[in-house]
Each structure stands twice: as C-alpha cells, then as structure tokens.
Chains A and B, each alone.
Chain A
C-alpha cells in the first residue's frame, strides 16, 4: 500500500524511466515471441534496406537486424544484470563484514580493494579477459544457457565492479555499526550473520539499492564498450555493443542503422538514471 502511494507521487521523469525499463524487460523476456526471426539465422542478402519483411534491414551476414536487436536486449541487459547482482553480492557482503569486524580483516580487504581500484578498470578488464579467454565452459542453467565467453565476462566485470560496491557498503555500514542497537546485538552474543542480515542490511538498503541502479548503468556501458572492442559478448550472440561495431561503417553511407542499438543503450541508461535519481531523492529524505 505504502509503496503504491509512493509510486503515485513519483515525478514524470521517474515514470518515464520506469515505463522504458518495463518495455525493455518485456522485450527481453519475450524475445522468442516478439522477434520475427531467430537470433542467428541468415535470412536474406547482406545489408538489405529497410522494408516490409526486414523492418530494419539485414546485417553483414544477412541476419535480421530487428530480431538481433530484440535478442540483444535479452543478452546485453541479462548479462549486465547478472554482473551487477554478482558484484553486489560479493562487494556488499565483504563490505558489511569489513565494517562489522573491523581490525585487520577490514585493513586487509580494504587495501586489496585499493590496489585493484588503482588500476584503470577498462585496462584491467581487457587484461583479465585476455588471460581468461576460452577458459570458461558453457553452462546450462535449464531455463537459459550461458556461453563460456559471456560467463568469463560476467565474472571479470563483477569482480572489478565489486570493489566500488565494497567501498559504498563499508562506508554506509560504518555509520550503522556504531549505533547502540548493533552494540546491543553484539553484547547479546549474536553471530556475524545475524548482525549483518538483521541489523545492518535493512538499515543500509536505501543507498545500496540506489547504487545498484547506477552501477547497472556503468556495467551495461562497460560491457557494450568491451563488445565494441571485440572482447565482450562473442558472436554469434546478438549484443548491442557488437552490433554497433559490426555495422559502424554504414554510418559513412548515410545509413542510420548502427545508431539504433546505440540509441537503445543510451535510452536504457537515461531511464535507469531517472529512476535512481528519484530513489536517491527519497532515501535522502528531501521532500521538495
């Protein structure tokens, strides 16, 4: 009830963001049904113009661009989401543990994170992706399968991004750890798990959720960027970053097709940011 009431007071920008995200989610989930052709099927000649059958034409191998755009939503958004969740699980847990235990555990974790953050993220990502390329097996989760290359990508980016999450989670939790109710729980004899799950987490959710949205955007952009460089999602999997790369040259012939996946990336980023802004605004307690 309360949540619905909050929703009603959301500003138009937040509404716009939420609707866009919803559309993306629907497209990603129902890609099989919505897309006119399959992701990898060659359906016609190369570089066909936009027409009745191929709404956005075909690409350099003769695959339907619209279908690939729709499947791309599933792949790109899915991978970015999996990466962000993983990085929050890893960074968030370690950050909360470091804040609660303090002492040398905090020191060691924090210094490791400092070292990782000292190396530029893109360069570190390129390095790790090159080192681990082809090492990960394809895995089948039943409802979906993840290509080995995508798995490597998810793990590497999640690892790198978790350092930022760690810093935030630790900083937020530091302010809560000093509260008397945490001391009371410690004196009661509660274990680390209880203190983190029941005392710290509920009180640090708001900034972490807002950060989740923001980090999702960055991860999303990073993956798109890596794909554009050819190190991200590997063919034949459809992905917006690599779609831009593959059709980039068309721009010189006045064809705007490469702008469409790029626009899809931009639109989602803007939408998520609108929603995050709104959530940050609420969690900061500012009314107007």
Chain B
C-alpha cells in the first residue's frame, strides 16, 4: 500500500466524481443537498472545499469516501477511486478501503477520540486491523509521525489519554492517526475551526508538511478562506449544493470570476470608522476598577483587571480561550462577585451580585451570547422572547407591545409578519443571533456585552451581524464590550482594544495604535497568527518565527 503511494506521481487522477447527487432527509421528505457536482483529484493534490454552512461541503467530502451520513443517500453519480467504483462497491469493500487508503480527520478531535484508550493504541488500531503493520512497528511508526507533526515528547505523548493533551495536540494526533496506513487520500473536515489562532498555525503547518512529505492527496473542507489559501492547490467554492467556481488557488484569490466568490473574498474588508478616544472628563458607561476574581477561593482567574468603556464606543477584549475574557463579562453582569475591585456604571458603583441590582441597573446592561441556540428558549415564540423585556422593564402590554416587537424586528432586518410567530428552531443561525440582538435592544440598554457573537457563524452572515451592530450603535448611542478571539472582527468594529492573557490585561489602547508595532510580544503573537489571504503567508510567518524563536514560547502549548 505504501509502495503505490510513494511511487504514485502527482498528475494521475486519484479520485473522479461525476454528477454526484445526494439527498438529505428533513421532516420526512428527501431534499437534494448536492445537486450534481463533478470533482477531480490528482495524486498528491490538496483540494480546498469552501462555502457557508449548509453548502454541502462535508456531505461531498464524505461522499468522496463513498459514505453517506445517517439521513443522507447518494442518489446519482459515480465515484471512481483509483479505478474502484465506490458508489456500487459492497460495504465490505468500502470498509477495507477506509482507514487504509482513504482516511478522515474530523472537526472536533476531542469528540472523535475514544476517551478510554491511549492515543498510541488508537493509532495502532487501524494498521493492525488492516494487517499493514504489527503492534511493535505501528508504535515505532507512531512515534516517528508524532515527531514529524512536531508534537512535544513524541516518544511519550502517545501513552497519554486524550483528555491529557491539549486541543491542538489532539488534532495533530488525529492527523497522525489518519496517516497511519499512509492513505492515498485524506479528507480534512474543518480540522482547525475549533482551535485558537495561535494553535491553529501549528496544526496547519503540521498538516501541510506531512501531506507534502507523503505525497498524499487531500480534500480540505473549511469556511475560512485565509486558511484554505494556505493549504490548497486548487479551490472549489460551493453554494446550495452546487459548484460556484473552481480554480487554482492563486488565480482564485487574485481574480475571482463569480459575484458570490467576490462577496466571500470581500468579507474581511468591512471596517467601521474608528472613533477618537473619549476625553478624560467624560464619565465612562462602564468602568472596571482593579477587579480580581475567581470561581473558588484558591485560584484567581482575573488579576487586577481594569479598563473603561465609553459612550458609543466599542471595546474589543481579545485573548485565547481561558484568558479570562468571559469571566470579566460575568463580573460586569454580576454573575460572579469580584474578590477585590468594583464595577462602576456612569460613575455609580454597581452591587457585586446581580440579585442586589435594581431593575433599572439590570436593564442598562444587556448581553448577547455566542450560541444563539442556547440563548433563546426553544419553547417560546419570537413575539414572547422579544416581548418579555418590553413587558418586564417598560411595562408595555397588548397592542403597544406587539407594535414595538414588530418595530424591533424591522430594526434587525427581519420581516415582522413572517417571523413574529416562529419558534427559534425555525430560524437559521444568523437569524437567531439577530433575535438575541433584538431581545437585548428591547430593554433599551446603553451597554451591551457581545460574547463571541459571530464565532459560531459563517463569515458572510457574521459580517451582516457586525454591520447591524455598528448601525445600531450609531442610531441608539450604544456602547459595546466585544469579547472575541478573532482579530479580523476586532479590526472591523473596535474602537479600543484590550488584550488579555492568563487573567491579566497585557495591553490596551486605541485600535490603530494596537495594530501598529511595537506591541507587547503576546499581542504580536496573536496578531501575526491571524491567517491572511496570501497563499505564501504561512510559509513566511514560520520562517520569521524560526529566526526569532522566543516569540513562540509564549503560546504555551
């Protein structure tokens, strides 16, 4: 098996899919998900599949393995993998191919590993099952691959359990696992979407290297254009189960033909004008004064955090997961009482516990959550979700309330008649997030905490949300605290930036200042880790980092 791969020249067609049509079951009806797509993949080539969620990327990726998820079926088309017709092959034949010649790397490595077995045992399982390697060789091989993927302590890490290693390491271990039989084709399904930017770099680099070394063909599925630019030789843009455009990466980036592709490319260009810093005499809407807080008496999660949020300004709080961004928000809302320090609203101290705050104090500070799915009660209609704060804070009832709900719905650009009686389950992700915004607005607050509001959304949808938030800020004089780990978002909407690391504010200031050097070395690491649309970006970045090593140590991986 390894021989064919090593000898295989890039140029031979490995996978040929013709007129693929796939149906999905929804509400007891079969609906087309993929509406006739052709796909060619040469040996050693990396093909990027991009598109919004629901475009059919993953479904198509799995179809390349001759697999259809539960509730899906491949209705038409041929899948020719190295001369084998997968659409008609028996389950037994397909099972033999999978793992040994075609492998799959899933989005969430944490959910895909078996928590009860050591990494190296899970690694060896496939090659032993397919009789490619014996236990001893498989283990040796694993260590070699771990080394190639630059995992720390390659000889020992395999003997840990999945929960004992970090997310980025797990994702690399999974890539190693996919490589264990030296397959001809690997399908990567959003392998870095769940990772921090700083960790993402390492995984991207590892995947790219190993794919090149073994001349493996890959299908790389993602919704992040900058990532696909680093990885793919060729890009296919999908939308509503149809092919929009296909071209070599460089051409696609420099010269997209279709309007939809252009709009995808333009997403990161939205930038709101930065407002000047507020004068020293102006009272801040929210002031966080030297807050130290923790969940148990022992470890403090926040250390002496202090910053101000002024009227009509957006303060972006950035940092990796675990840096204390959301904990700061919990202190402001009063869900977590700080051990030291206090929160001031318009110069007036807020009680530390939200239960002691007055209705008006609660009204002034609203929150929008990351997962709109869990932020909206699935058993309430939109009219009740938005109507409740109106009734609760402003005492509106009957026709007045109904009128105001409709007004709010038009304000967030949803047609009132169509949406007012729906349940959250009947809305798309972006629409749900808009409803969350409307619920916050209904309270007529002056300050809104946006906790990663766009990170669960596609880029085009996310941009719509950001534009909406910006417009509302202008119209209603709102102040935002914007928690995010995505620096592209920061660039587009922030006025001021607060960078947090391990519960401390390491740097803060106006946005333009933050995006120009010199900065704190952690800020630097964060900034430089954001993928750019230049296909050479990753290569250059890694070369730079190689030169001045110390910068990377901070990633603390």
Do the two shown chains form a genuine complex with each other? yes
Q: Which residues of A contact B (CB under 8 A)?
A: 179-181, 183-184, 186-190, 198-199, 202-203
B112: interface (CB < 8 Å): no
Q: Is the CB of A199 within 8 A of B377?
A: yes
- Shortest CB–CB separation between residue B464 and chain A, in angstroms? 21
Chain A nearest CB from B28 CB (Å) reads 9
Contact of B371 among A180, A187, A199, A202 (CB under 8 A): A180
A184→B392 contact, CB < 8 A: no
B332-362 CB contact bits vs A (8 Å, 1 = yes)?
0111000000000000000000100101001
Q: How many B residues have CB within 8 A of the partner chain?
A: 23
Of A187, A190, A198, the contact of B380 (CB 8 Å cutoff)? A198
B94 at the interface (CB under 8 A from A): no
Consensus secondary structure, chain A interface: helix
Residue of A nearest to B443 (CB): A188
Known A-B contacts A179-B374, A180-B369; A187 and B333 likewise in contact (beta carbons under 8 Å): yes
- Given contacts A180-B369, A188-B443, whether A202 and B362 have CB atoms under 8 Å apart is no
**What residue of chain A has the Cβ atom nearest to residue B376's Cβ?**
A181
Question: Are B389 and A188 in contact (CB-based, < 8 A)?
Answer: yes
**Least Cβ–Cβ distance between B82 and chain A, in angstroms:** 35
In Å, the complex CA distance between A189 and B443 comes to 12
Q: Mark B360-403, 1 if CB is under 8 A from A, else 0.
A: 00100001010100111111100000001100110000000000
Knowing A180-B369, A180-B371 are in contact, say whether A187-B377 is a contact too (CB < 8 A).
Answer: no
Q: Which residues of A contact B333 (CB under 8 A)?
A: 187
* 10 A-B pairs (CB sep. < 8 Å): A180-B374, A181-B375, A181-B377, A186-B354, A187-B367, A188-B389, A189-B354, A198-B380, A203-B378, A203-B379
Given A188-B362, A202-B379, A183–B371 Cβ distance below 8 Å? no
The 9 closest A-B pairs by CB, nearest first: A202-B379, A180-B375, A180-B369, A181-B377, A189-B362, A180-B374, A179-B374, A189-B359, A181-B375
Chain A neighbourhood of B354, CB < 8 A:
186-187, 189
Complex Cα–Cα for A221 and B443 (A) = 52
Besides the known contacts A188-B443, A189-B354, A198-B380, 20 further A-B residue pairs in the complex with CB atoms under 8 A apart: A179-B375, A180-B369, A180-B371, A180-B375, A181-B376, A181-B377, A184-B369, A184-B375, A186-B354, A187-B354, A188-B362, A188-B393, A189-B362, A190-B392, A198-B377, A199-B377, A202-B377, A203-B377, A203-B378, A203-B379
Q: How far is the CA of A30 from the CA of B359 in the complex (A)?
A: 54
| Distance, CA A229 to CA B9, complexed state (A) | 85
Contacts of B362 in A (CB 8 A): 187-189
Question: When chains A and B are docked, how far (Å) is the Cα of A183 from the Cα of B334?
Answer: 11
Most buried by B among A184, A186, A187, A203: A184
Residues of B within 8 A of A190 (CB): 392
For residue A187, which residues in chain B have a CB less than 8 angstroms away from its CB? 333-335, 354, 362, 367
- Count of CB-CB pairs between chains A and B under 8 Å: 44
Nearest chain-A residue to B384 (Cβ)? A198
- State how many angstroms separate the Cβ of B408 from the closest Cβ of chain A: 16
A203 to B380, CA, bound (A): 10
User: Interface of B with A (CB < 8 Å)?
Assistant: 333-335, 354, 357, 359, 362, 367, 369, 371, 374-380, 388-389, 392-393, 439, 443
Residues from chain B with a CB closer than 8 A to the CB of A180 are: 369, 371, 374-375
Cβ-closest chain B residue relative to A179: B374
CB atoms of B388 and A183 under 8 A apart: no
B365's closest neighbor in chain A, by CB?
A: A187
Q: Give Cα distance in the complex from A189 to B355, angstroms.
A: 7
Using Cβ atoms and an 8 Å threshold, which residues of chain B touch A202?
377, 379-380
Complex CA distance for A193 and B443, rounded to whole angstroms: 21
Contacts of A184 in B (CB 8 A): 367, 369, 375, 439
Nearest chain-A residue to B358 (Cβ)?
Answer: A189
| A226, chain B: closest CB distance, angstroms | 38
Residues of B within 8 A of A199 (CB): 377
CB distance from B262 to the nearest CB of A (A): 36
Expressed in whole angstroms, the Cα–Cα distance for A187 and B451 within the complex equals 15
With the chains together, A190 CA to B392 CA distance in Å? 8
Kindly name the residue among A187, A190, A203 whose own CB sees the greatest number of chain B CB atoms within 10 A: A187
Residues of A within 8 A of B439 (CB): 184
A188, B367: Cα distance in complex, Å: 10
Q: Given the complex, which residues of B lie within 8 Å of A188, measured CB to CB?
A: 362, 388-389, 392-393, 443
Distance from A100 Cβ to chain B, minimum over Cβ atoms (Å): 13
Q: How far is the CB of B25 from chain A (nearest CB, A)?
A: 9
Residues in A whose Cβ lies below 8 Å from that of B389: 188
Q: How far is the CA of A36 from the CA of B389 in the complex (A)?
A: 60
Q: Are B392 and A183 in contact (CB under 8 A)?
A: no
Q: What chain A residues lie within 8 Å of B379 (beta carbons)?
A: 202-203
Measured between C-beta atoms, what is the minimum distance from B379 to chain A in Å?
4
Q: Report B439 CB to chain A, min CB distance, Å.
A: 7
Known: A187-B367, A188-B443, A198-B380. A181 touches B374 (CB 8 A): yes
- The complex places the Cα of A198 from the Cα of B439 at a distance, in Å, of 16
The docked-state distance in angstroms from the alpha carbon of A188 to that of B389 is 7
Docked pose: A180 CA to B354 CA in angstroms: 16
Chain A residues with Cβ below 8 Å from B380 are 198, 202
Complex alpha-carbon distance, A198 and B359, angstroms: 19
- A188-B388, A188-B392, A189-B359 given; A183·B377 CB < 8 A: no
